[in-house]
A and B are shown apart, each in its own frame.
Chain A
Amino acid sequence: MSVAKQEMRAAVFPSGIASVGLGTVERQIPADEPPPLPPNSELTVIGKSFPRPNGRAKATGAVRFTVDIALPGMLHARVLRSSLPHAVVRSIDMSAAISHPGVRAVLAVADPANPKSAKLRYVGAPVAAVAAVSLPAAEEAVRLIRVDYEPLPFVADMDKARDPAAPLVHDHATAPPGHPSGFPAAANLPLNGNVRGPSIAKRGDVTKGFAEADVVVESEYSTSVQTHCCIEPHAIVADWRADGLTVYMSTQFTAGVRDEIAEAFGLPLNRIRVIVDAMGGGFGSKSSLGNYGRFAIALSRQAKAPVRLFLEREEEQMDAGNRPGTWQRLRIGAKRDGTLTAISLVSYGTAGVTVGAGVGNNAEALYSCPNFEGAQHDVFINAGPGCAMRAPGNTPGGYGLEQTIDELAEQLGVDPLRLRDRIDPSLVRREQRRIGAERVGWKERHSPGADSGPIKRGLGVAQSLWGANVQTNAACEVRVMRDGSVEVLSSVQDIGTGITTVLAQTVAEVLGLRPDQITVRIGDTEFPPGGPSYGSRTTASITPPARTAAWRVQQQLFRQAALLLNASAEDLFAREGKILVRSDPARFVAFRDAASHLRTDRVAAVVSRSDDYGGFRRRAGADAALAQQDLGGVQFAEVAVDTETGAVRVERVVAVQDCGRPMNPRQIESQVHGGVLMGVSYALLEERILDQATGRMVNPDLEQYKLVGVRETPQIDVVVLENYQGQSATDAYGIAEPANIATAPAIANAVYNAIGVRLRSLPMTPAAVLTALGKVAQRS
């Protein structure tokens, strides 16, 4: 890095939690970065709830999603998928498909000549793909493909897959290797049968720690497989031409998809353009090119025509990723006063045919404890691949940890909040507990199962931890035109979280304009490379370079204005569409007028994300890093459990979160609603059900696969701290994932508080509640 050689200067930043009291912190910052941004209370645009610039297009149906794109001569593709959970393709005959009217290209994905690709490992695994002049023609051609499968023994259950005698899903050659970064799984782990791991994390000596404990709790928790259920299907339009490839794709990472295409198809980066205009939700599942993306590009190359491929809902459910199911055993030792002495964690999880089914780092990192040992395992089964989903790992992990902490509190005879006050070193969460407890009326909380009637109410709390990710490979351009109009450009994409709004606000604040005067052009790799929109990193990664770029452009404009105002450029500032002289604010020039005197049609600056001021905690590969302070939150849930029907109703959730500097409170509230509701859904409803006799998902739709709807939506109170740390030009971080982690365990703790019986697996369905209450027999 060139940071060491950079010219630096000292700057004093606001520091601390606004509701507690702000101090200052001095940082060394690059000399060519803007001065510290004051707290939101002193700003006019940042920190205010401006509406989305693309709101009108979304509310009128004018906005174009990938499935809405139709190019001249465009073909339509469909994929033939395996109906067997484990098989070898002995032969594949596509002659009838090829000769079917309207078919323009066919692709054998499972190649009998290639032992590696001929093996199918899950129902829904792609076998072949077809592009034709119409969707019905492509569908019919797919039906005409004749495949001879040799069925193999399979295993579709994690516990059975752990049996050494179980059918093997992978061997050493085919098992996914993991990644040096540890995500989605660590590299170089042993493989025994279908079990990969353990991945060990360790500090201190847990044996000694447990020996020192006065109280030890031990619990087992399991979680279901949750599917992403983006309402917009995964979709791509690939347009392969002699002079280059243009791809329209519903993706969380345009620049990353471009890199993947370059590698997969041997194209130079300057011949590939990836575009996403509107993007209909990803939640982790649209982070990469995917197998369907490769098929569409290959078909387009073959047919010499644009090809559109989108997944049907059933394909979404089977082959577009999922949140892995997990089992974990937690053991926590504590002194009588609550001081933790040891935490041990053993987990097994399954991401189907791939890796990444760990339970995260909350058990390791949320609380002060000198002795920790974690052993996490991936188990392969013959089921569709998992992938990152909204706070991967930590969401199932938090479900187990936060219930075990409550169990410990009960054993110690102490209020769960007081125990957390004792063992949680975070000042941010301390404040979040205080605010949330007051808001939810924690003092009124009764003892478990205290309500006398059949409907029992309960109150629960849970906390969360999520790393503050930053993509350092992220850049942004700001342009001011001669007519005073302003553009912001980056390949970063708006997946619904509202970065378009936040970029407009960031630049408007610098230039003294309104956000609606800024045009934000993003989601196109023709622009400077923005980072991915996953890992809750978009705002943290792209708003600092946007502010710096706007500031640098402004310096150029100020030099122009200084001549007009007969003042020094250093004595100018911008406000309400004007450039004013600080020492004599009666002297000013309109922003537009200053721009009209530019020597060229426009002035511009391209800026990439600098390192956090004060440094990162650690790098995460070449392109990303983790900020010093984690993100998190504390959530409280109020539930009513009908002990006659077993139905759990979440009546209220109070979510107290933090994301550094909040950039747009209403959009943050929207994202927290989304995180909480996905958590309510995870807690009560969602479960991929595999038929053990066939390996098929029996609910691959949106009616038998249950999602939270408005009827199950509780009152959600959102409180977001302003937490300033002076770490970047905006000091803003993410919110999407931390808002999801604590919901399910808060609900689970509330259910326990309601009925006095603890549920240890997800989802907490009426049947599960009645079983826990001993009202129906245990399912075998």
Chain B
Amino acid sequence: MVSDLSRRSFLSGSAVTTAGATIINTAQTMTAQAENSADGPPLADTQPVTIRLNVNGAMRMAQIAASMTLAEVLRGSLGLTGTKIACNRGACSACTVWLDGVPICACMMLAVDVGARSVTTIEGLAQGETLHPVQQAFIDHDALQCGFCTPGMIMSCAALLQRNPEPNADEVRAAISGHYCRCGTYPHVIAATLAAAKAHRG
């Protein structure tokens, strides 16, 4: 990889790969051995940890590598692919989930650090078949185009309404100011969130 310092290698304290004319393997650490994607069989020398996660109101168990982020565990081990990874370093907010009701970037948190706190993902937002008002408003106002940033965007807007049921447009802007949408849905996201707040108030 060109990257001198990935988050993965940083977390595991591995050495920095040089950018010189010869790629030398300096990363003789336990990085890869300690990691294990849930998608493949475990490697012979992995030392997985077992964690319990309270996700969308259910306790879930997962055998993971300690270096895995919450986003990776949600998407891989738990199959909750609604949470998206787009930049993998907290710059775009596509991976936004709730931790005890507060929106966070799931790519910036290790799964082992979640502990007993509750995680809510886009899959857990609707009440059965009834969509959250923000989800419905996103559909009604065409606040989604390609839909890749949409789950994260909805989680932030829904969290805003939890803590502020009557936001103004500036408060919606503040709530999604960390989100990137390349399709340009921002104006419709603001309209949808304001409409959802209004619908919620009745």
Contacts and interface: CB of A to CB of B under 8 A. Distances in A.
Interface string A36-55: 00000000000001011011
A374 to B, nearest CB: 31
Given A124-B2, A232-B86, A55 B37 contact: no
Nearest to A498: B145
Nearest to A57: B147
Contacts of B83: 61
A675 B141 CA distance: 18
A142 B1 contact: yes
A713 interface: yes
Interface of A: 49, 51-52, 54-65, 67-68, 70, 74-76, 78, 80-84, 87, 96, 101-102, 123-124, 132-137, 139-140, 142-151, 228-233, 278-281, 283, 312-314, 318, 495-498, 666-667, 669-671, 673-678, 694, 696, 700-703, 707, 709-711, 713, 715-716
Given A278-B147, A710-B179, A670 B142 contact: yes
Contacts of B31: 136, 140
- Determine which residue in A124, A134, A671 has the highest number of CB atoms from chain B within 10 A of its CB, and name it: A134
Interface of B: 1-3, 8, 17, 19-25, 27, 31-32, 35-37, 39-41, 43-45, 65, 75, 79-89, 91-92, 94, 121-123, 125-126, 131, 135-136, 138-142, 144-151, 154, 173, 176-190
A673 B184 contact: yes
B155 to A, nearest CB: 10
B87 A96 contact: no
A60 B23 contact: no
A250 to B, nearest CB: 10
Given A279-B146, A709-B179, A676 B184 contact: yes
B173 A76 contact: no
A701 B91 contact: yes
23 contacts: A54-B147, A55-B139, A56-B139, A60-B122, A61-B83, A64-B81, A81-B2, A142-B1, A143-B25, A146-B24, A148-B21, A229-B180, A230-B182, A232-B148, A281-B182, A312-B3, A313-B86, A673-B187, A678-B182, A702-B91, A702-B180, A703-B87, A710-B173
A60 B25 contact: no
Given A84-B21, A710-B186, A52 B35 contact: no
Contact of A278 (B41, B146, B154): B146
Given A61-B83, A81-B2, A707 B182 contact: yes
Contact of B184 (A134, A279, A670): A670
Contacts, number: 251
A452 to B, nearest CB: 28
A60 to B, nearest CB: 6
B142 A61 contact: no
A523 to B, nearest CB: 13
- Determine which residue in A67, A228, A667 has the highest number of CB atoms from chain B within 10 A of its CB, and name it: A67
B37 A136 contact: yes
Given A59-B154, A60-B126, A134-B39, A674 B183 contact: yes
Nearest to B188: A670
Given A61-B123, A134-B43, A146-B23, A139 B8 contact: yes
Contact of B40 (A49, A132, A140, A700): A132
Nearest to B14: A143
Contacts of A137: 32, 37, 40, 43
Given A51-B139, A70-B39, A280 B148 contact: yes
Nearest to B24: A146
Smallest CB-CB A-B distances: 10 pairs: A61-B82, A496-B146, A140-B32, A58-B147, A280-B148, A674-B184, A133-B40, A136-B35, A61-B122, A134-B37
Contacts of A280: 146-148
A233 B86 contact: yes
B146 A703 contact: no
B116 to A, nearest CB: 24
